Amino acid sequence: MKGAIKLQNNKLSSAQRYATSVPLLRRIAPREETFSTLSTSSARRRTTVVAQSSLSPKKPEPPIELPPYSYQTLCPLRNVVYAATLHDGKTSLKKMVNSSVLGFDIEWKPNFVKGAPPNPVACVQLSNEDSVIVLQVSAMSKLPEELFTMLQNSSIVKVGVGISDDAKKLNKDWGISVRNMVDLSTLARSLDPYWAEEDRLKAEATNNPNLKAAPVGLARLAARYLTLQLVKGKKVTRSNWERPLTTAQINYAANDAAVAFDVYQRLELFQKGETTLPSADMRHK
């Protein structure tokens, strides 16, 4: 299967794009995705205001329902390329060689046999603000040289959650070294005291003061920093990534790489002091 949506994006700076798009999310309708097109339907974020008596204990507000995330939500002209041949892989990667930041993720076929070794990496996903490439490396006769060049280029920042483990698996399975990685969970914890407070409350609730802090997943990062819900269905997660990919698989894989890029852009604005952190009182479903 081959496919590429070629669209021209407006060349706003990353700071302009993310400083202006996120505050306007209440006006962005959720998207029902397909590989070739995205249709929109109107939806509103719903919040419930609970009246509080000045004499009664304050009750936590109910979680806010968020619109779903799509790789085109914050970058409407961002296209997705599914490459399952060496030629398509080389062609698509050449358009990303000048990227300064890439969202990075991998997928592999799950193994349901107890004690059996995990299957090798089947797909590598890369995203910038213009494109997402879903490379089905398991279907290629050999890997594109451009993939080695980009992932080993220390001038390109690769971002993701659990990215170090993904890089180790990719190196073990395919001999590709990934350089200059940023783990979004670690970065978010270093910038935002919200996560330490969540850990403290969880330790109190479980009566376990020695509870180890768990990594912050992409879905929680997207909810807090993009006010969007990253939907991750188990059916697609546990699907066969070595067969020709379905539209659902392509969208799932593209979203994981794109949301990593988008969250990093947002965290970078916090780090530079160009925007403020979300309220610690905001809770999401």
Look at the block and give the residue holding tokens 């995990």.
118
pTM of the model: 0.78
Domains of the chain: 3-43+59-272 (3.30.420.10)
Q: Are residues 35 and 81 in contact, defined by beta-carbon separation less than 8 angstroms?
A: no
- C-alpha separations of 97 from 74, 137, 153, 237, 276 in Å: 22, 18, 10, 29, 32
Task: Report the run of H or E that residue 93 belongs to, with start and end.
Answer: helix 86-94
What pLDDT was estimated at residue 22? 53
Look at the block and give the residue holding tokens 């299957």.
119
pLDDT digits (tens, 9 = 90+) for 146-156: 999 999 999 99
Q: For all residues of the chain together, what is the average pLDDT? A: 83
What pLDDT was estimated at residue 17? 55
Residue of 6, 167, 1 whose CA lies nearest to 92? 6
Q: Are residues 232 and 252 in contact, defined by beta-carbon separation less than 8 angstroms?
A: yes
Q: Which residue has the higher pLDDT, 278 or 102?
A: 102
pLDDT at 32 over 80: no
pLDDT at 230 over 90: yes
What is the mean predicted confidence (pLDDT) over 229-237? 92
**Exposed, middle or buried, 127 (CB in 10 Å: 0-12/13-18/19+)?**
buried
- The CA distance from 277 to 224, in Å, is 9
pLDDT at 229 over 60: yes
Strand partners, 40: 31
pLDDT digits (tens, 9 = 90+) for 89-147: 999 999 999 999 999 999 999 998 888 999 999 999 999 999 999 999 999 999 999 99
Residues in the chain: 285
Look at the block and give the residue holding tokens 């997402």.
132
Look at the block and give the residue holding tokens 């850990």.
199
What pLDDT was estimated at residue 41? 39
What pLDDT was estimated at residue 227? 96
What is the mean predicted confidence (pLDDT) over 186-208? 92
Percent of the chain with pLDDT strictly greater than 90:
65
DSSP string, 187-244: HHHHH-THHHHHHHHHHHHTT-TTPPPPPPPHHHHHHHHH--B----HHHHTS-TTSP
- The CA distance from 139 to 225, in Å, is 35
pLDDT at 219 over 50: yes
Sign, CA torsion 224/230/234/236:
negative
What is the mean predicted confidence (pLDDT) over 224-228? 97
What is the mean predicted confidence (pLDDT) over 194-216? 88
pLDDT at 162 over 80: yes
Residue of 155, 162, 208 whose CA lies nearest to 184? 162
Percent of the chain with pLDDT strictly greater than 70:
76
Q: Model confidence at 232, in pLDDT bands (50, 70, 90)?
A: confident
- The CA distance from 114 to 129, in Å, is 40
